[in-house]
Amino acid sequence: MTHIPHSRNNLLAPPPRLLMGPGPINCYPRVLNAMSTQLVGQYDPVMTGYMNETMALYREVFMTQNKQTLLVDGTSRAGIEAMLVSALEPGDKVLVPIFGRFGHLLTEIAERAGAQVHSIEVPWGEVFQPEQIEAAIKQFQPKMVATVQGDTSTTMLQPLAEIGEICRRLDVILYCDATASIGGNALETDNWKLDAVSVGLQKCLGGPSGSAPITMGERYLEVINKRRHVEAGIRNEHHYAGEGSRIRSNYFDLPMIIDYWGDERLNHHTEAASMLYCARECAINLLDEGIQSCIDRHKVNGDAMLAGVQGLNLTPFGDLQYKMNNVVGVYIPQGVDGEAVRHQMLHNFNIEIGTSFGPLHGKIWRIGTMGYNARPDCVFNTLQSLETVLRRNGHKLGLGEGVDAAMSVYGK
Amino acid sequence: MTHIPHSRNNLLAPPPRLLMGPGPINCYPRVLNAMSTQLVGQYDPVMTGYMNETMALYREVFMTQNKQTLLVDGTSRAGIEAMLVSALEPGDKVLVPIFGRFGHLLTEIAERAGAQVHSIEVPWGEVFQPEQIEAAIKQFQPKMVATVQGDTSTTMLQPLAEIGEICRRLDVILYCDATASIGGNALETDNWKLDAVSVGLQKCLGGPSGSAPITMGERYLEVINKRRHVEAGIRNEHHYAGEGSRIRSNYFDLPMIIDYWGDERLNHHTEAASMLYCARECAINLLDEGIQSCIDRHKVNGDAMLAGVQGLNLTPFGDLQYKMNNVVGVYIPQGVDGEAVRHQMLHNFNIEIGTSFGPLHGKIWRIGTMGYNARPDCVFNTLQSLETVLRRNGHKLGLGEGVDAAMSVYGK
């Protein structure tokens, strides 16, 4: 077998990229530092204290009173799967409104859980109106509506408050994946009557992928608690084997994960302590800034980037009144090689902008301003470098008009 | 909602515990440092370079030529579930030899995948003889044998070389969870004919929980590749929807994860970059020391701890010829409150030793010497503090006999 040379040659020293794509983005320095903190034991009162603190912090982040607010150990997709597989029994009906790639993902995960999935679609670049959701609920009579809030594949943000009202009135569980939106756009779990929400750290929360904060309300808990079981290897005479149909996954069995995070601390997985330190720090960082201040910062920097790309004679993608604050889609101008531009941005300027998926592949770039990188200097540097690259690739634009347009958004 | 006071009060400053339980343990400092490295983008050539490098490094760690050697983003349990759910179709027969808690876990996960599980058991503290496995295979005719190598719940290490031969001869897939043993005990994937192996970082590899390295051989791949699908949201005309029965999990769909780590880089999850940096560093750290040197170090420090607890007039648990190098079970002496001892060790000396699960709960402590903590000073400090605590809790022992016995193992 080939021996990889270690030590000197394998020093971990990546180039200092400025990550202005749709996420992941550069982490806040304090979040990175948190991960280099030494561990304590899994049941050490210090560790369980951090777990409780993390629950309390994420209640604030999610704007909820939900006791069951905790972390799933995996990427944001792990949080989604835990939410769906714990609630959906084979044959259960679920409605998925699809307005981008991640709606397809919800469909796929729900299907694998054995659910009967009904999906409705709008073209990429649009969102649903509440009456469309209401009509579909009445038609399909689902147990759950599963939707994305912000879909980075299209940059669209689905309004949720009215959908929450509709689901409550029609007695349907509403689950939402808010990974791409949280921290940079309003997300009010309790006010909007969202029954279950999952997120990730790698967008506006300014951490790396690898931990999925989730929150579960009473109506969602009622569904999953019917399926509560205790693992054979650790069951004793006080425990029971459960009565509902067994959840198809052990790792994503939320009633078990709740027992692990709860007072009884029933062993499930070994909590990923470094990622917990990280998730905790992401929440503290957000709450220190203030949720509304952080959203406002994403709004102004997002607006500046939007004005900037328009100043570069580029056309933004999608229905802008529903655009997420933290990412903009930009049509690749005719005659310009989109991948060549991304390549030159990365290799000449250490700046990453995003490509696209599915029907938008090769048609738009996606440029993010999120978390640590929702800053004027990041916006200006990206626009200046993009100007240089576009100019040298034959795109017609006026000198300095991108960065000037962005500066005027800040009143400069 | 209660507002948690942030900043000053929420400074992440855990006490400097010495973690001498069955894992997790203190991380190597270089591994902690790796996690505070800033990110690069998900498809940045630097990142995909790190992914390829991580695959190559873990081939060495697993002692295999298997191309498909990569990380599952989750705890070691995530690796186990990915292995089982990707291979086992509903109704498939799997044989699980149970010699501790984690055998029960394999059973539970396989059952949830819809498999028909046949388990055989030996009393906790023992392991299986090859002929027992062979007889059970002949009786049940399983598609797969799923076993743990080292089970921390009992401290036992199941010999695997002969079982590998048997499974190959009888055309059965052999999957092994080596989380607790790898790095501190021999594990030779190819030499022993193991078809699939999964591990975690939080034991002898000296990292935190949260990433699960796995390796997959040709025979295992043949089984899972029949179930390969490409996700709807990213499928194009060159892709296919798959022919075998769909894997019940999206997150743990190994053919998809292989496509993500492969040349095509088909998007699946967003790789948990900080945990990848960490897993990579754990591997480099091990290979820098040398696998055999690291095993030898675990052996001598484990032997010293064993001699030390015997010197403290304590009785070790289980069949010592099959004990893992990195953990020892110790009977709680009569008249001594096991939890009081653990509490005093933790709060007076900042040293954690482990409690136990299931039938051993309240009967034994488990004391680890693994990873960064497989060091003489950790052994000596633990034994000295344990002597003080035991003496003050009424256990009869001779002054200094624990630490002296340990010192003599090192020839001091």
Asked if the C-beta of A388 comes within 8 angstroms of chain B's C-beta atoms, the answer is no
B317 shares a domain with B273? no
Best of A250, A291, A342, A356 to disrupt the B interface (most B CBs within 10 Å) is: A250
Asked if the C-beta of A288 comes within 8 angstroms of chain B's C-beta atoms, the answer is yes
The B residues from 133 to 152 touching A (CB cutoff 8 Å) are: none
Best of B64, B250, B256, B366 to disrupt the A interface (most A CBs within 10 Å) is: B250
pLDDT score at A8:
46
Asked if the C-beta of B288 comes within 8 angstroms of chain A's C-beta atoms, the answer is yes
pLDDT score at B8:
47
Q: What is the CATH number of the domain that holds B380?
A: 3.90.1150.10
User: B40 to chain A: which residues are within 8 Å by CB?
Assistant: 14-15, 17, 19, 352
A312 shares a domain with A208? no
pLDDT one-digit tens code per residue, A110-137: 999 999 999 999 999 999 999 999 999 9
Asked if the C-beta of B204 comes within 8 angstroms of chain A's C-beta atoms, the answer is no
Residue after which a domain boundary falls, among A287, A308, A328: A287
Best of A99, A229, A251, A284 to disrupt the B interface (most B CBs within 10 Å) is: A251
The whole-angstrom separation of Cα A121 and Cα A133 is: 10
User: For residue A94, what is the enclosing H or E element?
Assistant: strand A93-98
pLDDT > 70: percent of chain B:
95
pLDDT score at A245:
85
The whole-angstrom separation of Cα A166 and Cα A359 is: 31
Residue A318 CA neighbour count, 13 Å, CB half:
30
Measured between alpha carbons, how far is residue A235 from residues A13, B101, B119 in Å? 47, 11, 18
Asked if the C-beta of B5 comes within 8 angstroms of chain A's C-beta atoms, the answer is no
Measured between alpha carbons, how far is residue A132 from residues A95, A137, A164, B180 in Å? 12, 9, 13, 52
Q: Which residues contact B250 (CB under 8 A, 6 or more apart)?
A: A77, A81, A105, A108, A109, A112, B231, B256
Binning pLDDT at 50, 70 and 90, where does residue B236 land? low
pLDDT score at A10:
82
Q: Which structural domain, as residue segments, surrounds residue B374?
A: 291-409
Supply the DSSP symbol for A89.
Answer: P
Q: Do B23 and A270 touch (CB under 8 A)?
A: yes
* Residue written as token pair 């054979």: A232
Q: Do B36 and A38 touch (CB under 8 A)?
A: no
A174 shares a domain with A41? yes
B282 shares a domain with B263? yes
Q: Is residue B7 a part of any domain in this protein?
A: no
pLDDT score at B241:
58
Q: Do B60 and A3 touch (CB under 8 A)?
A: yes
Binning pLDDT at 50, 70 and 90, where does residue B7 land? very low
B334 shares a domain with B189? no
Asked if the C-beta of B42 comes within 8 angstroms of chain A's C-beta atoms, the answer is yes
pLDDT score at B242:
62
Q: Is residue A174 a part of any domain in this protein?
A: yes
Count, residues in chain B:
412
pLDDT one-digit tens code per residue, B29-59: 999 999 999 999 999 999 999 999 999 999 9
Q: What is the CATH number of the domain that holds B243?
A: 3.40.640.10
Nearest to B34 by CA among B205, B162, B177, B263: B205
The A residues from 157 to 196 touching B (CB cutoff 8 Å) are: none
Asked if the C-beta of A290 comes within 8 angstroms of chain B's C-beta atoms, the answer is no
Q: Is residue B1 a part of any domain in this protein?
A: no
Q: Is residue B238 a part of any domain in this protein?
A: yes
Query: Which residues of chain A fall below pLDDT 70?
Result: 1-9, 231-243
Asked if the C-beta of B287 comes within 8 angstroms of chain A's C-beta atoms, the answer is yes
The whole-angstrom separation of Cα B229 and Cα B226 is: 9
The whole-angstrom separation of Cα B394 and Cα B332 is: 12
User: B32 to chain A: which residues are within 8 Å by CB?
Assistant: 35-38, 274
pLDDT score at A204:
98
Q: Do B4 and A42 touch (CB under 8 A)?
A: no
In B, minimum Cα distance to A107 occurs at B232
pLDDT score at B245:
85
Residue after which a domain boundary falls, among A234, A260, A287: A287
The whole-angstrom separation of Cα B303 and Cα B298 is: 8
ipTM above 0.90, yes or no: yes
Asked if the C-beta of A267 comes within 8 angstroms of chain B's C-beta atoms, the answer is yes
Q: Is residue A6 a part of any domain in this protein?
A: no
Q: Is residue B191 a part of any domain in this protein?
A: yes
Asked if the C-beta of A238 comes within 8 angstroms of chain B's C-beta atoms, the answer is no
pLDDT score at B244:
73
pLDDT score at B229:
77
Which among B41, B233, B346 has the least Cβ separation from residue A19?
B41
pLDDT one-digit tens code per residue, B194-222: 999 999 999 999 999 999 999 999 999 99
A277 shares a domain with A238? yes
Q: Is residue B167 a part of any domain in this protein?
A: yes
User: B287 to chain A: which residues are within 8 Å by CB?
Assistant: 4, 6
What distance in Å separates residue B399's CA from the closest CA in chain A? Answer: 29
Q: Are A132 and A343 in contact (CB under 8 A)?
A: no
Asked if the C-beta of A272 comes within 8 angstroms of chain B's C-beta atoms, the answer is yes
User: A1 to chain B: which residues are within 8 Å by CB?
Assistant: 59-60, 64-65
Asked if the C-beta of A232 comes within 8 angstroms of chain B's C-beta atoms, the answer is yes
Binning pLDDT at 50, 70 and 90, where does residue B1 land? very low
Asked if the C-beta of A76 comes within 8 angstroms of chain B's C-beta atoms, the answer is yes
B279 shares a domain with B314? no
The whole-angstrom separation of Cα B283 and Cα A79 is: 28
Q: Do A273 and B26 touch (CB under 8 A)?
A: no
In A, minimum Cα distance to B3 occurs at A60
Asked if the C-beta of B77 comes within 8 angstroms of chain A's C-beta atoms, the answer is yes
In A, minimum Cα distance to B74 occurs at A74
Structure tokens at A169: 């009135």
pLDDT score at A230:
72
Provide the sign of the torsion angle of the four alpha carbons B158, B163, B167, B168, taken in this order: positive
Question: Roughly what angle, to the nearest 10 degrees, separates helices A376-392 and A291-311?
Answer: 20
The whole-angstrom separation of Cα B111 and Cα B107 is: 6
In A, minimum Cα distance to B113 occurs at A248
User: Between β-strands A116-121 and A68-72, what pairing exists: parallel, antiparallel or unpaired?
Assistant: unpaired
Residue after which a domain boundary falls, among A265, A287, A309: A287
The whole-angstrom separation of Cα B404 and Cα B54 is: 42
Which among B33, B81, B273 has the least Cβ separation from residue A209?
B273
Q: Do B32 and A37 touch (CB under 8 A)?
A: yes
Best of B26, B36, B54 to disrupt the A interface (most A CBs within 10 Å) is: B36
A308 shares a domain with A160? no
pLDDT at B250 over 60: yes
pLDDT at B233 over 70: no
pLDDT score at B211:
98
Which among A14, A57, A267 has the least Cβ separation from residue B37?
A14
Which residues of A fall in the annotated binding site for substrate? 366
B296 shares a domain with B269? no
Best of B39, B48, B188, B269 to disrupt the A interface (most A CBs within 10 Å) is: B39
Structure tokens at B29: 């400092």
A328 shares a domain with A246? no
pLDDT one-digit tens code per residue, B143-194: 999 999 999 999 999 999 999 999 999 999 999 999 999 999 999 999 999 9
Mean per-residue pLDDT of chain B: 95
What distance in Å separates residue B52's CA from the closest CA in chain A? Answer: 11
Asked if the C-beta of A42 comes within 8 angstroms of chain B's C-beta atoms, the answer is yes
- Residue, of B298 and B235, whose pLDDT is higher: B298
A155 shares a domain with A60? yes
A302 shares a domain with A240? no
The whole-angstrom separation of Cα A207 and Cα A211 is: 9
Supply the DSSP symbol for A190.
Answer: T
pLDDT at B230 over 80: no
Asked if the C-beta of B313 comes within 8 angstroms of chain A's C-beta atoms, the answer is no
Q: Is residue A5 a part of any domain in this protein?
A: no
The tally of domains found in chain A comes to: 2
What distance in Å separates residue B208's CA from the closest CA in chain A? Answer: 6
